[in-house]
Amino acid sequence: MAWLKSRFVQEMVGRELHSTSQAAFGIQKMRALLIPQPPELEQKAIAEALSDADALIASLEQLLAKKRHIKQGAMQDLLTGQKRLPGFGGEWVAQTLESLFNFSGGFTASRDQLSSDGHCYLHYGDIHTSHKNFISIRAEQADIPKLDVPLKAVSAGSLLADGDVVFVDASEDDEGVSKHIVVINPDAAPYISGLHTIVAKPKTALLEKEYLRHCFQTQAVKTQFRFYAVGTKVLGVSKTNIAKIVLPVPDKDEQSAIAAILSDMDAEIATLEAKLAKARQIKQGMMQNLLTGRIRLI
């Protein structure tokens, strides 16, 4: 029932839980809850309104899943050379990451040391939880955790520049072992890569920065990461092994064309994600108002 999810009921339950020494809420306490009960006709009207909101959310979720699936298919085709864009036909060159990047480690600091003061700091946990594979320092600086430490204490390899790629070196599952973030930092703002990260700094100009955002997401590359990962409960991958991973590289014009298509797909997905978040927010507001009688439909 929708009213069980309303903030009104959750707040009552929360007050009851906090009023006792143990967090328990049994049948008797549930029975004692006082629930606003509108007339049956109004109940039906409220249920229809919330069902319409649920239907909109479900349709957006389905569309979002479809768009993500389409993008996954496009990446497998375009980033492996299985499907070529019109006007491109040259051979792709297989490059090891060792030939493309210099690798270094991050600066060790715990989550407890982070605050809102100091220099931007990239915690490996934030890579794992990010839904994006890039981070823009200019756009996201206010939300990035900070570490108050003198820059002279941080090695040059741990300071992130525009176009650097940061991989995690540990994960609890197969999918997470290939997680990474591409750094967008044209202003050269101090940005420190942290514990359990491997920094890959480009040492050639063979890869376009926009292309970097996508090229590590194919199943072929992810399979290589899983092959080199070691461990049982926690999987680890080293700089030495990441350097062995092979990436098929087209010429830069084709990279730019592929990146433009995939970036357009990302923008469309981001728009749908924003619509879905807004629809969920609206439904929550409807529940708080309709299920408490603050707004009446009849």
**Beta strand extents in the chain (DSSP E only):** 93-96, 101-105, 119-122, 134-136, 146-147, 165-168, 170-171, 180-184, 191-193, 197-202, 235-236, 246-249
End-to-end CA distance of the chain: 20
Number of domains in the chain: 3
Query: Is residue 264 packed enough to be buried (19+ CB in 10 Å), middle (13-18) or exposed (0-12)?
Result: exposed
> Domain holding 127: CATH number?
3.90.220.20
Is residue 198 domain-shared with residue 110, that is, in the same domain?
A: yes
Is residue 105 domain-shared with residue 138, that is, in the same domain?
A: yes
What digits encode the pLDDT tens for the residues 174-205? Answer: 889 999 999 999 999 999 999 999 999 999 99
**Residue span of the structural domain in which 53 resides:** 36-90+251-298
Please give the share of the chain, as a percent, with pLDDT higher than 90: 75
Residue 285 neighbours by CB under 8 Å, 6+ apart: none
Is residue 227 domain-shared with residue 241, that is, in the same domain?
A: yes
- Return the pLDDT at 143: 94
Contact at 8 Å (CB) between 251 and 205?
no
Is residue 156 domain-shared with residue 279, that is, in the same domain?
A: no
Is residue 11 domain-shared with residue 67, that is, in the same domain?
A: no
Tell me which DSSP letter residue 115 carries.
B
The residue among 249, 272, 287 that closes a domain is 249
- Return the pLDDT at 147: 97
Is residue 158 domain-shared with residue 73, that is, in the same domain?
A: no
Query: Does position 20 have pLDDT exceeding 60, yes or no?
Result: no
Q: Which residue has the higher pLDDT, 10 or 199?
A: 199
Q: What are phi and psi of 24, to 5 degrees?
A: -135, 140
What digits encode the pLDDT tens for the residues 115-151? Answer: 999 999 999 999 999 988 999 999 999 999 999 999 9
Cα-Cα-Cα-Cα dihedral of 59, 62, 65, 69, to 10°? -120
Is residue 112 domain-shared with residue 181, that is, in the same domain?
A: yes
What digits encode the pLDDT tens for the residues 36-59? Answer: 677 888 888 888 999 999 999 999
- Residues 4-22, mean pLDDT to the nearest whole number: 54
R_g of the chain, CA atoms, integer Å: 25
Q: Is 196 helix (H, G, I), strand (E, B) or coil?
A: coil
- Residues 16-38, mean pLDDT to the nearest whole number: 59
Global pTM? 0.81
- Return the pLDDT at 178: 94
Handedness of CA 76, 125, 145, 183 (dihedral sign): negative
Query: Does position 92 have pLDDT exceeding 60, yes or no?
Result: yes
Is residue 19 domain-shared with residue 52, that is, in the same domain?
A: no
- Return the pLDDT at 77: 95
What digits encode the pLDDT tens for the residues 250-294? Answer: 999 999 999 999 999 999 999 999 999 999 999 999 888 888 878
* Mean pLDDT (the chain, rounded): 89
> Domain holding 270: CATH number?
1.10.287.1120
